Amino acid sequence: MFGRVEKYLLEKIKAEGSIHMTLVDPEKTAPSQAAQVAENSQANGTAAIMIGGSTFVSQAHLDDVIKAMSRIVKIPIILFPNNITGISRYADAIWFMSLLNSVDPYFLIGAQILGAPLVKKYGLEPISMGYIIVGEGGTAGVVGKAIPVPYNKPELTVAHALAGQYLGMHFIYLEGGSGAAKPVPPEMIRMVKKSTEIPLLVGGGIRTKKQALSVASAGADIIVTGNIVESIGGKQKVSEIIDGVKGNRG
């Protein structure tokens, strides 16, 4: 059972090797800014826009940000919710995710039960994903009450990822935390990729072309960057990072 957006992502990964997604944090972004970021990212070759942050944003604002972006871009807009308040009817799809290393059942299945009827009502395409917080974990780790897997314990990350795959999840996301000092190490990515058969997203702290290339060549199918678009020269940076991701296509 694959929806339209999921098929698009799988075909793009198959054709291009590794793809890039731009994460927009609605909390830090006005609708007009978000539209600009989405337009630039699309022009540079990003495959999709993800929208979400770790803390609270009003749903009215989230709706406005998504509406502004969808007027400008053709690529899919995928919700990346931290809670049920991260659901908007104006997106194309939603990462229907469980935080696999949370100690709080709310982030494992509670929020999902509360959100599922809304996903259905809005006709959003759910894309099942196991979310694993690693390294310093950042705000997502604190808010999600996760026990982040240390970067030097890749075998534990493999165990989490396999559990996600065996539970039927379609994608695994290794999250180093937005703004992490160091991206997820290549060795951890390589081990997870080798042991699992589902597409792998990696994000958190990727700031340079070199880092993007290293993450992609270690086996990440989808490379996510967020913070960089908000930085000085963000437009140029995104284009360099996408070049790095493309560098993996040899």
Residues near ligand 1GP (CB under 6 A): 23, 175, 178-180, 203-206, 224-228
- Picking from 134, 135, 55, 52, the residue whose alpha carbon sits closest to that of residue 101 is 134
Q: Which is nearer to ligand 1GP, 76 or 205 (CB)?
A: 205
Q: Which is nearer to ligand 1GP, 88 or 227 (CB)?
A: 227
CA atoms of 156 and 197, how far apart (whole Å): 17
179 is in an annotated binding site: yes
Closest CB 113 distance from ligand 1GP, rounded Å: 23
Residue 18 to residues 22, 70, 123, 164, 206: CA-CA distances in angstroms? 14, 24, 28, 21, 15
Q: Which is nearer to ligand 1GP, 6 or 175 (CB)?
A: 175
Closest CB 230 distance from ligand 1GP, rounded Å: 8
Closest CB 176 distance from ligand 1GP, rounded Å: 6
CA atoms of 158 and 160, how far apart (whole Å): 5
- Picking from 144, 34, 19, 170, the residue whose alpha carbon sits closest to that of residue 90 is 34
Closest CB 1 distance from ligand 1GP, rounded Å: 26
Using an 8 Å Cβ cutoff, are 122 and 114 in contact?
no
CA atoms of 166 and 54, how far apart (whole Å): 27
Name the residue whose CB lies closest to ligand 1GP.
203
Write out the two tokens for 141.
């780790």
187 is in an annotated binding site: no
25 is in an annotated binding site: yes
Q: Which residues are annotated binding-site positions for Mg(2+)?
A: 25, 54
Q: Which residues are annotated binding-site positions?
A: 25, 54, 173-179, 204-205, 226-227
Q: Which residues are annotated binding-site positions for sn-glycerol 1-phosphate?
A: 173-179, 204-205, 226-227
